[in-house]
Amino acid sequence: MKIKFIVLLAISCALMSCENPMRFETKVHEDGSLDKTILFEEIDSAGIRKNILGINAERGWSVTSEKLPVKADQGKSAGDRFKVQFQKKFLSATELNQELETSADSLFQIHSVFEKKFRWFFTYLRYSETFRPLNRFKLVSPNDFFTREDDAFLDRLPAEGKKISRADSLFLQLLNEKISDRFAIMGIFKEQYQILEEVVRKNGVDKKWLDTLYKNQEFIFNQVDKMKGDARFAEKMADTLKIPLLQPRAANDFKQLSANFNRRVNFMSFARDGKYLNVIDMPWTVVNSNADSVAANQLYWRPLVTKFVYRDYEMFAESRKLNIWACILSLGIIGATLYLLFKRRGPGAF
């Protein structure tokens, strides 16, 4: 099956239409327990059991699904589409992280933190959720491509759908080009080149062919952009360079060594097309947050995918409640102090 590299190269293009709308909602309780709801607005039947979050009924999630009507522009071979909702209660943020922050490099990762602090007159709650980066390239570092200015721009970038200035539109376009034309292409090249080297070594051909690969790095790099859409890129490069690999052993080696890379490409492709809405429902009175909008105790975030292509994106909310008992106790202490002071001085002291 062919994997379209062009999909990956456009991984952060926020101006493209989104086809995978997802809604995350967390109801926070003051004891630290959390009710999690995840809604896929439109996925195929396979997504009910296998999706980018790795959640399903077998893992204890309550699942409800609704078959969607066939769209006018939907081909007959597209298959049925469903609206699917997953729900599960967690006793703590730690328990939630064990479910949604796995080490699997082909799953969407969310890190949650719950904090409760006592400040005498008030008790404060702080809850945060962090979308981990979508980037799954293993041989390139974002630090080598993106600057503090890029990060500062993403920090001030408003929610999806909000109007931005022409200057910011230009900066966003340049940032997308940096991601697609430099970061993503280099990520693909390095991993495909590593696969080529590994297959050459495993097939026991003369070591001079490793030198051939080394001398043709620039040629291979240039082909990454030209051969978009071909999952057999590394194998075809070996044929182009006329490396005498043993068949069918070499073909099997290419398939096995490319499997993990292709899974990561599939993940990044689906996640890049996502349209994300995150909702946090806090107890008590909300006093601080970085939400895009707030309605009473519900806070909403609609981040552009660009915000978490190569770095973390944190969403937080803080709330507080008045400790009535502390107020009563404080008034009692003040009253007792005044009483003792008045009694010690006598009735004529004032």
Tell me the pLDDT tens digit for each residue of 14-23. Answer: 333 346 899 9
pLDDT, residue 74, reads 62
Report which of residues 139 and 3 the model is more confident about: 139
Q: Which residue has the tokens 């001030």?
A: 156
pLDDT, residue 14, reads 35
Q: How many residues does the chain have?
A: 350
pLDDT digits (tens, 9 = 90+) for 51-63: 999 999 999 999 9
With 80 as the cut, is the pLDDT of residue 342 above it? no
pLDDT, residue 230, reads 74
Q: What is the DSSP letter of 287?
A: E
pLDDT, residue 160, reads 85
| pTM for the model | 0.86
Q: Are strands 274-281 and 81-90 parallel, antiparallel or unpaired?
A: unpaired
- Residue 307 sits at the vertex; the CA angle it makes with 304 and 309, to the nearest 5 degrees, is 105
pLDDT, residue 349, reads 52
pLDDT, residue 325, reads 72
Q: Please give the structure tokens belonging to residue 203.
A: 């097939």
Question: What amino acid is encoded at 190 in this protein?
Answer: K
pLDDT, residue 73, reads 65
Q: Please give the structure tokens belonging to residue 63.
A: 């699942």
What is the average pLDDT across 23-30?
97
pLDDT, residue 61, reads 97
pLDDT, residue 2, reads 41
With 80 as the cut, is the pLDDT of residue 7 above it? no
Q: What is the DSSP letter of 68?
A: P
Give Dmax over CA atoms of the chain in angstroms. Answer: 111
Do residues 133 and 310 make contact, with C-beta atoms less than 8 angstroms apart?
yes
pLDDT digits (tens, 9 = 90+) for 274-287: 899 999 999 999 99
What is the average pLDDT across 69-81?
72
- CB half-sphere exposure, 79, CA atoms < 13 A: 8
Q: Please give the structure tokens belonging to residue 326.
A: 């502390």
pLDDT band at residue 346 under the 50/70/90 scheme? low
pLDDT band at residue 94 under the 50/70/90 scheme? very high
pLDDT digits (tens, 9 = 90+) for 208-254: 999 999 999 999 999 988 886 678 889 999 999 999 998 899 999 99
pLDDT, residue 71, reads 75
C-alpha torsion 58→63→69→73, nearest 10? -60
Task: Mark 293-332 as b/e (b = at least 16 C-beta within 10 Å).
Answer: eeeebbbbbbbbbbbbbbbebebbbbbbeebeeeeeeeee
Give dist(CA 180, CA 145) in Å, integer. 11
With 70 as the cut, is the pLDDT of residue 9 above it? no
pLDDT digits (tens, 9 = 90+) for 249-268: 999 999 999 999 989 988 98
pLDDT, residue 72, reads 66
What is the average pLDDT across 119-134?
94
- Region at 120 (left for phi over 0; alpha for psi -120 to 50; beta for the rest): left
